[in-house]
Homo-oligomer: A and B are copies of this chain.
Amino acid sequence: MTNLPDDARSALMLLSELVEPGDAELDDLLDETGPIEAVKRLWEGDVPERLRRITSAAVSCTPDPAYRAAQIRAATAACGARVLTPDDPDWPERLRDLLLVCDADEPHVRPPRCLWVRGPHDLAEVCERSVAIVGARAATEYGQHLADDLAAELADAGWTIVSGGAFGIDRAAHLGAMARGGTTVAVLASGVDSPYPKGNVSMFDLIAERGLLLSEWPPGSSAMKHRFLTRNRVIAALTAGTVVIEAALRSGARNTARHAAELGRVLMFTPGPVTSTMSTGVHRLAREPWEARLVTRAEEVIEDLTGIGGPLASEPPPQQRPIDRLTEIEARLVESLPRGYVVETARLAAVAGLPAEVAAETLERLQRMRWVDRVDDRWRLARVPQT
């Protein structure tokens, strides 16, 4: 007789170790039987053939599932984490949208079953007004500067910055948000006790203190390539939109972008030099049928996230030139007068395409405004340029 976990949450924690997230057959089994019975059936081999095969190795390594579940619970407590399941009040509603897009072709795009959370915030609350900033690990200085800046300004405006904790763009985004006292969430492909990569350990410590570390895998789980891809759907689903800053053509960031687009989230990207391979992937986004929006400033990101009725990005301040203060007729006369020439009124009127009287009258006004000088009955540009 197998020793089963007592409660549903412990059973889900155990299952998170056993079967990768997004497994449709396990989800069906959970819907049918609930988590405790699902564990029982797995250990008895009383599950569909495929599910039996992919779990057989782990089941045979784990003779006492209740004990293993208790170990996971202990490890969770030891690193100061807690576990959320879809029934908890701080489970983010947005994650359920994944149910709308997953299909037979993409079984892995299913909602998470269980999330480990480490940090002082309510996950649902901080994600309500959140945006993902993702991009290349091998980012350029330019890209990191942009990510830092954008995250800082979005944090200032009250937006939570969600990213993946990687080197490069992710790191710059997390740090940019925290530098302004903002909230940031790192969605990991490893356990929340040992975030990957180790090189970002001080950053992860800061995030655990001021933001949130998030994972679908139990403490002790290590990051693996397919887990990064699985994780990306959570980044896309948790947030109102995703900004991609620098990405190679084949990259996790582009994968996150695709999830965001498919989920109906706002997909944005920052452009870069076309000569930079780190921008190839983002520029490609603009040519895909995903309606990715080009953004250059936090104001534009907010405009796109909040849509019609939201705050509109103001035009960047124009460079006002002295001639812009003139009326059209005044400007036309000034521009028709070649520097260094002295021209009579009738000729100038002809060149500017103006009636002679209008030209004469306007030139006198321009003289008072010190744009032109009168020389006998002719005109030249004033020597002192207007400022």
User: How far is A272 from B294 in the complex, measured between Cα atoms in Å?
Assistant: 11
12 contacting pairs across A/B (C-beta < 8 A): A54-B353, A57-B346, A57-B356, A58-B350, A146-B275, A224-B351, A270-B274, A271-B274, A274-B297, A283-B294, A286-B286, A286-B293
Neighbour of A315 across the interface among B60, B249, B316, CB < 8 A: B249
Q: Which residue of chain B has its CB nearest to the CB of A62? A: B350
Give the interface segment out of A2-10, A179-187, A328-336: A328-336
Q: Which of A294-325 contact B (CB under 8 A)?
A: 294-297, 300, 313, 315-316, 318-319
A358 within 8 Å of B by Cβ?
A: yes
Q: Which residue of chain B has its CB nearest to the CB of A280? A: B316
User: How far is A173 from B332 in the complex, measured between Cα atoms in Å?
Assistant: 30
User: How far is A172 from B249 in the complex, measured between Cα atoms in Å?
Assistant: 29
Q: Which residue of chain B has its CB nearest to the CB of A19? A: B353
| Known pairs A56-B356, A353-B19, A353-B54; A226 contacts B335 (CB<8 A) | yes
A66 within 8 Å of B by Cβ?
A: no
A287 within 8 Å of B by Cβ?
A: yes
Q: Which residue of chain B has its CB nearest to the CB of A303? A: B287
CB of A142 within 8 A of CB of B61, answer no
A354 within 8 Å of B by Cβ?
A: yes
CB of A294 within 8 A of CB of B300, answer no
Neighbour of A294 across the interface among B224, B271, B347, CB < 8 A: B271
Binary B-proximity of A326-344 (CB < 8 A = 1, otherwise 0): 0000011001101000000
Q: For A58, A279, A338, A350, which residue has the most chain B Cβ atoms within 10 angstroms? A: A350
What's the least CB distance linking A231 to chain B, in Å?
14
Binary B-proximity of A47-60 (CB < 8 A = 1, otherwise 0): 00000011011101
What's the least CB distance linking A59 to chain B, in Å?
9
CB of A318 within 8 A of CB of B57, answer no
CB of B275 within 8 A of CB of A142, answer yes
User: How far is A250 from B332 in the complex, measured between Cα atoms in Å?
Assistant: 17
User: How far is A275 from B145 in the complex, measured between Cα atoms in Å?
Assistant: 10
CB of A331 within 8 A of CB of B225, answer yes
List 9 additional A-B contacts (Cβ < 8 Å) besides A54-B354, A57-B347, A146-B275.
A57-B346, A57-B349, A61-B346, A249-B315, A249-B316, A271-B273, A280-B296, A284-B316, A286-B294
Chain B residue numbers with a CB within 8 Å of A287 are 293-295, 300, 313
Of the four ranges (under 10, 10 to 19, 20 to 34, 35 or more), the interface on chain A belongs to 35 or more
Number of this chain's copies in the assembly equals: 2
Neighbour of A248 across the interface among B294, B319, B353, CB < 8 A: B319
Give the B-binding residues of A (Cβ under 8 A).
Answer: 19-20, 53-54, 56-58, 60-61, 142, 145-146, 222, 224-226, 248-250, 270-275, 279-280, 283-284, 286-287, 293-297, 300, 313, 315-316, 318-319, 331-332, 335-336, 338, 346-347, 349-351, 353-359
Q: For A20, A222, A294, which residue has the most chain B Cβ atoms within 10 angstroms? A: A294
Neighbour of A56 across the interface among B273, B286, B295, B355, CB < 8 A: B355
User: How far is A284 from B347 in the complex, measured between Cα atoms in Å?
Assistant: 40
User: How far is A283 from B58 in the complex, measured between Cα atoms in Å?
Assistant: 52
Q: Which residue of chain B has its CB nearest to the CB of A297? A: B274
CB of B319 within 8 A of CB of A250, answer yes
Chain B residue numbers with a CB within 8 Å of A58 are 350
User: How far is A280 from B274 in the complex, measured between Cα atoms in Å?
Assistant: 15
Q: Which residue of chain B has its CB nearest to the CB of A294? A: B286
CB of B271 within 8 A of CB of A279, answer yes
Neighbour of A335 across the interface among B224, B315, B351, CB < 8 A: B224
Chain B residue numbers with a CB within 8 Å of A20 are 353
Q: For A54, A142, A279, A293, which residue has the most chain B Cβ atoms within 10 angstroms? A: A54
